[in-house]
Amino acid sequence: MWLAVAAATALSALLGTIAADLRWLAALGAHIVQHGTIPDFVPFASAASDGWPNVPVLGELVIHALDSVAADRGLLLAQVAAVAVAFTLVALDMRGARAAESGSLLALLLLIPSTVTSLALIRAQLFSLALFPLLVLLLRREARDPSRLVWLVPPLIALWCNLHGGVLVGVAVAFSYLLLERGRREPRVALGVAGASLVALFATPALWRTGTYFAGVLDNEAAQRGVGLWRPVSLHSGFDLAFIVCGLVLAIAALRSRPRLWEVAALAGLAVLTGLAARGEVWFALFAATPAACGIGGGRVRRPQLLRPALVVLIGLSVWGLVRGPADPAAGDRVLRRALAEAGDTPVLATDLLAEQVALAGGQIWLGNPIDAFERRDQQLYLDWAEGRPSGDAALDKVPRAVLVSPRSGAGRRLADNPAFSPIAADDDAVLYVRRPTSDAP
């Protein structure tokens, strides 16, 4: 069982890749530390964002601290730690459920391909990656042996909501337990914990405006279009196919174990979430793993003589991956410095990952993550441009000079044919375009 935990951790260290929806947290954290105040706008963007309820402030400060101390390696370390914590908590949950060792091992092995993108891609959800299994472990322990420890749910929710918006998934799962399981035994306790959890959800610097923040996260233009983090599960994606196959096995095994009503409800809700957006895959798989281990059954696993050497090798691979650092499919230093120099005090129009890179380097962008902070019409225009739609060309008018794009993006392909811009610097992952003087344009 622990071999599977070590394998997942090593995989995260070796495949760790900086992705979009991460560096903007570090950029905002840097602003908070430098100015000593929490902004209610996006300080590194020129598009209007006044009045934005800034909720994940603790997450911004943590990511800023990691980036300040160890740069990209610090971010990879956080991701690897989150993966190690997640799989360890799932293994402990299986042990608490008295799942057979062979069933636990198989379920954990199925969990790896089911969640491989979440293990490898370093995003803001790394906080939820550790906290979701912790909440589930607590809820299942309470389902088996009810105690006062259920009152740990509200402070856990309070911590989580200051780190990442994935807390909403945790709240939904917690309410499934409180209303369908604990409420039948101790209705007063269940209602008390549920009420306290709702209050805890608003224990952020935004206070009562926290609800507005979450509404924006769920209703932003990317979520409505199903792009980026909100893309649906696709049969054309190898990673999604791996989830479908392994997730289906986990689901069948979980139902075979005859889970409690609240677990069935939670599984159904997570399945619906996954059907709407692929980002729900990891939560479904993590929740299904323990009942699946119980449903698979089996006996003890005979420990091979090479178990300890294998653990040593996997730990060594994890350390090597951390020392090497993560993959970073963003602009190289030369292109980034040139972009900042060309833009000067003016904003850069950039695709998502590159925009966050510019922001963290101290530059200005027109618009980027967190996209929900901006006005709807600007969100629409930015996504039209990023997707290479003709209607997005108007976004080019928002910047006087510099545009930074991934050559493989829709924006990059369309900009290559735009005579008003010329490329002046490029590497494998980024191309810097500048606006031609009017007299030079064909």
What 3-state DSSP class applies to 53? coil
Is pLDDT of 182 > 90? yes
What pLDDT digit, counting tens, does each position of 229-242 carry? 898 988 888 999 99
What pLDDT digit, counting tens, does each position of 21-44 carry? 999 999 999 999 999 999 999 999
The CB density around residue 53, as the number of other CB atoms within 10 Å, is 20
At residue 440 the predicted structure's pLDDT band, cuts being 50, 70 and 90, is low
Q: How far apart are CA 170 and CA 174, in angstroms?
A: 6
The pTM of the full predicted model, rounded to 2 decimals, is 0.93
Whose CA is closest to 165, among 242, 110, 217? Answer: 217
pLDDT score at 352: 93
pLDDT score at 439: 55
Is pLDDT of 199 > 80? yes
Whose CA is closest to 125, among 286, 325, 350? Answer: 286
pLDDT score at 366: 97
pLDDT score at 54: 96
pLDDT score at 201: 96
Is pLDDT of 288 > 60? yes
pLDDT score at 59: 97
Q: Which amino acid is at 157?
A: I
Q: Is 380 exposed, middle or buried (0-12, 13-18, 19+ CB in 10 A)?
A: middle
Q: How far apart are CA 333 and CA 222, in angstroms?
A: 29
What pLDDT digit, counting tens, does each position of 44-100 carry? 999 999 999 999 999 999 999 999 998 899 999 999 999 999 999 999 999 999 999
At residue 334 the predicted structure's pLDDT band, cuts being 50, 70 and 90, is very high
What pLDDT digit, counting tens, does each position of 377-422 carry? 999 999 999 999 999 999 999 999 999 999 999 999 999 999 999 9
At residue 1 the predicted structure's pLDDT band, cuts being 50, 70 and 90, is confident
| Segment among 30-34, 100-104, 133-137 with least mean pLDDT | 100-104
pLDDT score at 268: 96
pLDDT score at 442: 53
Is pLDDT of 257 > 90? yes
pLDDT score at 229: 82
Is pLDDT of 306 > 70? no
Asked if 159 and 201 count as a contact pair (C-beta separation under 8 A), the reply is: no
pLDDT score at 305: 62
Percent of the chain at pLDDT exceeding 70? 97
At residue 3 the predicted structure's pLDDT band, cuts being 50, 70 and 90, is confident
The CB density around residue 420, as the number of other CB atoms within 10 Å, is 14
pLDDT score at 406: 95
Contacts of 187 (CB under 8 A, 6+ apart): none
Asked if 75 and 22 count as a contact pair (C-beta separation under 8 A), the reply is: yes
Asked if 339 and 402 count as a contact pair (C-beta separation under 8 A), the reply is: yes
pLDDT score at 310: 82
**DSSP class per residue in 301-339:** PPPPTTHHHHHHHHHHHHHHHHHH--B--S--HHHHHHH
Asked if 29 and 60 count as a contact pair (C-beta separation under 8 A), the reply is: yes
Q: How far apart are CA 267 and CA 236, in angstroms?
A: 25
Q: What angle, 0 to 180 degrees and rounded to 10, lies between the N-to-C axes of helices 57-96 and 23-35?
A: 130
Q: Are strands 402-405 and 349-350 parallel, antiparallel or unpaired?
A: parallel
Asked if 38 and 205 count as a contact pair (C-beta separation under 8 A), the reply is: yes
pLDDT score at 177: 97
Contacts of 95 (CB under 8 A, 6+ apart): 104
What 3-state DSSP class applies to 166? coil
CA 92 to chain CA centroid, Å, is 23
pLDDT score at 311: 85
Average pLDDT over residues 152-164: 97
Q: How far apart are CA 124 and CA 106, in angstroms?
A: 29
For the sheet containing 421-426, what is the strand order? 349-350, 402-405, 431-435, 421-426
What one-character DSSP code corresponds to residue 180?
I
Percent of the chain at pLDDT exceeding 90? 88
| 189 vs 229, higher pLDDT | 189
Whose CA is closest to 93, among 241, 293, 242? Answer: 293
Question: What is the pLDDT of the chain when averaged over all its residues?
Answer: 93
pLDDT score at 309: 81
Residue 234's Cβ-side half-sphere holds a number of Cα atoms within 13 Å equal to: 11
Q: How far apart are CA 224 and CA 80, in angstroms?
A: 31
What 3-state DSSP class applies to 252? helix
Q: Which amino acid is at 54?
A: N
Q: Which amino acid is at 59?
A: G
pLDDT score at 134: 98
CA 214 to chain CA centroid, Å, is 15
Is pLDDT of 441 > 60? no
